[in-house]
Amino acid sequence: MSSLASKQGPRYRHASGEEEPYETIAVEKLTPIIGAEISGVDLGRLVSEQGSNRQMDEIHRALAENSVIFFRDQAITPAQHLAFGRKFGDLHVHPAAPHEGDDPALMKIYADKDSPRANGEGWHTDVSCDVEPPMGSILYIKQCPPRGGDTLFASMYAAYESLSDRMKAYLDGLIALHDGEPAYRGLYANMGVADRPTYPRAEHPVVRTHPVTGRKALYVNRGFTSHIIGLPRDESDAVLAYLYQHCENPLFQCRFRWTENAIAFWDNRCTQHRAMWDYWPHTRSGTRVTVKGERPV
């Protein structure tokens, strides 16, 4: 560690407040900044008649406080996976990815030795090219490789809060274009999905305010953001390159090591994620249910 770092401490200081205890679930934080593992809950039971509203309220709270939450050893059916998603809102149908079975809201996540790529290999926020991008995604991994296949998550609250005041002032009010076309065209050809005539594109604020927590979060990502509107292209490219690099600081991240039948539920409004495809030639598979969101402000 440099003497500067040891004298000044980390550049980003997370202000963790007094924590109110949970009564119906156990919440174990992965880092002070992002991610928590939840135990003491059976999601299959929760979505049935026997589930308690108090437990649902506490899961909502755990998501708001940690931005991404994880559950292990959940033997749920596709119908229960979909029903758990519906507890948080209407379900989103992916504009390009294949689905598992009959329900288009049950997105298929699959990579094996013959795959040319795996889903979500670069840092991104899900489908930010939609006018109303998804609020959250619930990924259920049923088959894991013996090692690897982790998912990394990064807090866009921490990324925003650690910017200099000058950079915050510069970004204030800027709007960026998010484009699905370069991201999705041809992407799922190997899974038998034909291209659509067009893909979604939308304009969103570079900094958005979370509708539940009221906190500000950076909302640009390598996967979909094409440019910042109204800036010369070279300036937009330079600013976005800086922001992407800044967002990828390990200080803002947690890393989830999957086990079979684990679930990750992330809030797309304040996180980015990246899936590690380091397990070839092994297979990793599961399904994702995505919950609709609102227009970012």
How far apart are alpha carbons 89 and 108 in whole angstroms?
A: 20
Residues of the chain by 3-state class (helix, strand, coil), percent to 5:
25, 25, 50
> Considering the rule CB under 6 A, would residue 287 count as an interface residue with ligand SIN?
no
> Considering the rule CB under 6 A, would residue 144 count as an interface residue with ligand SIN?
no
Which residue of 216, 288, 289, 293 would you call a contact of ligand SIN, by CB under 6 A?
288
Contacts of residue 255, defined as CB under 8 A and 6 or more positions apart, other chains included, come to: 150, 151, 152, 153
Which residues are catalytic, by number?
A: 124, 126, 273, 288
Beta bridge partners of 246: none
Contact 282, 159 (CB under 8 A): no
Q: How far is the CB of 60 from ligand SIN (least distance, A)?
A: 21
Q: How far is the CB of 219 from ligand SIN (least distance, A)?
A: 17
Which residue of 119, 155, 162, 272 would you call a contact of ligand SIN, by CB under 6 A?
119
Which residue type occupies 168? K
Q: How far is the CB of 273 from ligand SIN (least distance, A)?
A: 6
Contact 151, 258 (CB under 8 A): yes
Residue whose CB is less far from ligand SIN, 163 or 270 = 270
Which residue of 105, 109, 207, 289 would you call a contact of ligand SIN, by CB under 6 A?
109
Q: Please report, for residues 30, 46, 141, the alpha-carbon distance to residue 169 in angstroms, rounded to integers and kept in the order given.
A: 32, 44, 41
Structure tokens at 190: 């190997």
Q: How far is the CB of 276 from ligand SIN (least distance, A)?
A: 8
176-189 as b/e, with b when 16 or more CB fall inside 10 Å? bbbbbeebbeebbe
Q: How far is the CB of 261 from ligand SIN (least distance, A)?
A: 15
Residue whose CB is less far from ligand SIN, 119 or 128 = 119
Which residue of 51, 85, 120, 205 would you call a contact of ligand SIN, by CB under 6 A?
120
> Considering the rule CB under 6 A, would residue 139 count as an interface residue with ligand SIN?
yes
Contacts of residue 257, defined as CB under 8 A and 6 or more positions apart, other chains included, come to: 150
How far apart are alpha carbons 36 and 65 in whole angstroms?
A: 9
218-250 as b/e, with b when 16 or more CB fall inside 10 Å? bbbbbbbbbbbeeeeeeebeebbeebbeebbbe
What binding mask, one character per residue, do residues 262-281 give for ligand SIN by CB under 6 A, x or -? -----------x-x------
Residue whose CB is less far from ligand SIN, 33 or 139 = 139
Residues 2-61 that bind ligand SIN (CB under 6 A): none
Residue whose CB is less far from ligand SIN, 157 or 265 = 265
Residue whose CB is less far from ligand SIN, 65 or 150 = 150
**What is the size of the binding site for ligand SIN (CB under 6 A)?**
9
Residues 145-184 that bind ligand SIN (CB under 6 A): 151
Q: For the chain, where are the alpha helices, taking DSSP H only?
A: 3-8, 43-47, 53-66, 78-86, 156-161, 165-171, 181-184, 233-247
Residues in contact with ligand SIN by the rule CB under 6 A: 109, 119-120, 137, 139, 151, 273, 275, 288
